Amino acid sequence: MFQRNRVSRPLRAQPSLNDPDILREFVRTLREGIYISTGDGEILDANAAFLDIVGAESVEELRAYRAQDFVVDPEQRRTELLILARDGAIREFELQIRSLDGQIRTVLDTTFVVQDPGSGKTHFHGVLVDITARKLLEQKLLELSIRDPLTGCYNRRALDTAAEKMEQQPDEMWGCIYIDVDHFKQYNDLHGHHAGDEVLVRMSRFLMRQVRAEQSVIRVGGDEFVILLSGDDSVHTDAIARRFRADGMQHAPALFSLGWSLREPSEPLDQMLARADDHLLAVRALRGTQRDTQRGSQLRPATSEVPGGRGAGGGGGGGGAGGEGGDPSPGPGHPVVPTEHRAPRSTNRTPNTGHRAPYSLGTEPDPPS
């Protein structure tokens, strides 16, 4: 009986990263940047994705630069090199780089130290991942979470961030200005929530025009706003309060009362806010409830935009827009609040109707007596 001889066929080699052609194509098509550099930052080779991240047309163009030339903060580069020298590798080290076209990008750098067996020179083999879009999305989501949707001011979550900074820096100076729209509840009840909301929007725009970008305007209640001034002493805080009052006479869409305080050493945020609020109440009480009601019960109409702008300082550090009242404090230091002038706080109200949220980070303190 005859047996059919089997013809042996050569087995096809499985794809492998050890195959130079496969590895070359793999590196070429990756969307992550891959590079080889010397220990002093000369970029020897890179794939197309790396060139795109740094804004270069070719590896030859990169020869005029060093890796450290792209890093925005030199301290970040020094820290990365220290870790590489200590551990021989670093994974997902976050850096901000400036590409050749001037764009700022956020990247994650994963690098391994390799010793060339022939020359003994140190080389860095690395992978660069561009996370700029992710960081922008995170920042946008953060902004949405800490911004008041009606006015665009920061919301009370911004106070948590400020409180943490104060805990970490107990000796840093802070100023606080507390602003309360006068007779907002009456106006809201008379003209409706939509008109009241429009007043709040215009009031927030007025306040934000008066401060620098790094100075936060925070909506802490329905008709209450706080301005936090990091690093400001009593002179600067008093000057800003005076500017608010002077410009309020001409440009504020509503009459308002104002009080301020300066942080004591190691003082927590809620206590500083409470003292500014007490100062506001003292100013309002000294103006006289009857005269204030007769003069200020009508808010300025919310049907047309009131132009903003900066005005010259003048008047007392506290008081209401329109020139009413003066600052009960004896000088430009911490405002002194006489107990006999404190006015009782109103009861809690619902949002968009003059809601008074708790004005400390903890529970709301008892109203001043």
Q: Are 224 and 151 in contact (CB under 8 A)?
A: no
Q: Does residue 1 sit within a domain?
A: no
- Between 89-93, 178-182, 310-314, the lowest mean confidence (pLDDT) is in 310-314
31: left (phi over 0), alpha (psi -120 to 50) or beta: alpha
Please name every residue paired with 179 in a beta bridge, in sequence order, or none if there are none: 225, 258
Q: Alpha helices of 192-268 — where are they, by DSSP H?
A: 193-209, 234-251
Q: Alpha helices of the chain — where are they, by DSSP H?
A: 20-29, 48-54, 59-62, 74-87, 132-146, 157-168, 184-191, 193-209, 234-251, 269-287, 289-296
**Based on the domain organization, do 161 and 240 belong to the same domain?**
yes
Q: Does residue 11 sit within a domain?
A: no
- Between 169-183, 186-200, 215-229, 348-362, the lowest mean confidence (pLDDT) is in 348-362
Q: Band of the pLDDT at 236, cuts 50, 70, 90? A: confident
Mean pLDDT of the chain: 77
Q: Does residue 162 sit within a domain?
A: yes
Whats the size of the chain, residue-wise?
369
Angle at 220 between CA 143 and CA 269, to 5 degrees: 90
Alpha carbons within 13 A on the beta-carbon side of 68 = 12
Q: What is the pLDDT of residue 142?
A: 80
The pTM of this model reads 0.52
Give residue-wise pLDDT tens across range 9-53: 656 668 777 777 887 887 888 889 999 999 999 999 999 999 999
Q: What proportion of the chain, given as a percentage, has pLDDT over 70?
A: 74
Q: Are 359 and 220 in contact (CB under 8 A)?
A: yes
**Based on the domain organization, do 187 and 248 belong to the same domain?**
yes
Q: What is the mean pLDDT of residues 73-83?
A: 94
Q: What is the mean pLDDT of residues 80-93?
A: 95
**Between residues 332 and 207, the one the model is more confident about:** 207
Q: Band of the pLDDT at 329, cuts 50, 70, 90? A: very low
Q: Does residue 142 sit within a domain?
A: no
Q: How many domains does the chain fold into?
A: 2
Indicate the pairing of strand 256-262 with strand 224-230: unpaired
Residue type, 164: E
Q: What is the pLDDT of residue 21?
A: 80
**Based on the domain organization, do 184 and 110 belong to the same domain?**
no
What is the enclosing helix (H) or strand (E) of 217? strand 216-219
Q: What is the mean pLDDT of residues 144-161?
A: 89
Q: What is the pLDDT of residue 5?
A: 58
Longest CA–CA span in the chain (Å) reads 125
Residue type, 28: R
**Based on the domain organization, do 158 and 128 belong to the same domain?**
no
- DSSP letter at 114? E
Q: Are 241 and 233 in contact (CB under 8 A)?
A: no
Q: What is the CATH number of the domain that holds 255?
A: 3.30.70.270
Q: What is the mean pLDDT of residues 70-83?
A: 95
Parent domain of 160: 150-341
Which residue bears the tokens 């003209």? Answer: 191
Q: What is the CATH number of the domain that holds 72?
A: 3.30.450.20
Q: Does residue 6 sit within a domain?
A: no
DSSP assignment of 115-139 equals E-TTT--EEEEEEEEE-HHHHHHHH
Q: Band of the pLDDT at 144, cuts 50, 70, 90? A: confident
Tell me how many helices (H) and strands (E) the chain has: 11, 10
**Based on the domain organization, do 180 and 297 belong to the same domain?**
yes
Give residue-wise pLDDT tens across range 264-319: 999 999 999 999 999 999 988 887 643 444 343 344 433 233 333 323 333 333 44
Indicate the pairing of strand 216-219 with strand 174-181: unpaired
**Based on the domain organization, do 110 and 243 belong to the same domain?**
no
Q: What is the mean pLDDT of residues 350-364?
A: 32
**Based on the domain organization, do 198 and 328 belong to the same domain?**
yes
Q: Band of the pLDDT at 129, cuts 50, 70, 90? A: very high
| Max mean pLDDT range (59-73, 140-154, 211-225) | 59-73
* pLDDT over threshold 80, residue 347: no
Sheet of 319-320, strand order:
216-219, 224-230, 174-181, 256-262, 319-320
Q: What is the pLDDT of residue 214?
A: 78
Q: Does residue 256 sit within a domain?
A: yes
